[in-house]
Amino acid sequence: MSITAASTLLLALSLPAAPPPAAGAVAQPKAAAGKTDPAVNAVLSKVQRYYAKIKDYTAQFIQTYEKVALSQKRELRGIFQLRKPAQARWLYSDPPKEWVINGRKMTMLDPELEQAFIDENFESAEISRSISFLWGNGKLDETFKATLGDRKTYGFADGRVALELVPRRGATYRKLVLGVDPKSGEVTDSILFETAGNTNRFQFRDAKLNTGLAQTIFDAQAPSGWEIIRQ
């Protein structure tokens, strides 16, 4: 499995890479900011402010991936950690895996296969721009067309707002739906709807902000003897 294919497993607000424009394609005009419904703008602003103010973030997560065509559903659990300016880490518990973004480098460590997948140019990828607001950069309304949906449709808890995000440019997914705390702007749920009909859902719980995460925990290293696969 290449790191490009595996990138669709990234949690929470991690999005699959959007393909580059086809040769000869006519560029679409950039959507004007501020044209969104005021209620939607209020939610977008709170999400942006929430992630702009934090220095680091740690939360438990539950990931549920459902393949519609095969009627298969898989649940995984772990810990997500984020540290500004551009570091993130996913620790899966069963089976154990570790995903790490450290600036321009993305690494996935798989103890079962004794393999390390490494992408040295992650920062330049479209996926990096799509999730840049996690580090307080970028603007959601420039990347997505945003609307508000029915929280019950997505199974979000009482008090959560369903923020539906459709990519403004061609992508490998139809939409991303975020469950947002309307008071704080914290994203507690995310559901990625793939073009094939599959869904990838993350639930974040027990979030802790600004605990002083050490930079060294984002220095992912493969043990001696492992196979190294570079993108």
Where does the chain have alpha helices with state H? 3-6, 38-53, 126-130, 140-143, 151-154
Percent of the chain residues topping a pLDDT of 90: 41
pLDDT digits (tens, 9 = 90+) for 117-148: 998 887 644 454 445 556 555 577 777 899 99
Band of pLDDT at residue 209, cut at 50, 70 and 90:
very high
Q: What's the token pair of residue 49?
A: 């402010």
Indicate left, alpha or beta for 140 from its phi (over 0: left) and psi (-120 to 50: alpha).
alpha
Measured distance CA(193)–CA(228) in Å, rounded: 31
Query: What digits encode the pLDDT tens for the residues 60-98?
Result: 999 898 887 777 888 999 999 989 888 889 999 988 999
Choice between 10 and 230, residue whose per-residue pLDDT is larger: 230
Q: What domains sit in the chain, N to C, each tagged with a CATH number?
A: 37-230 (2.50.20.10)
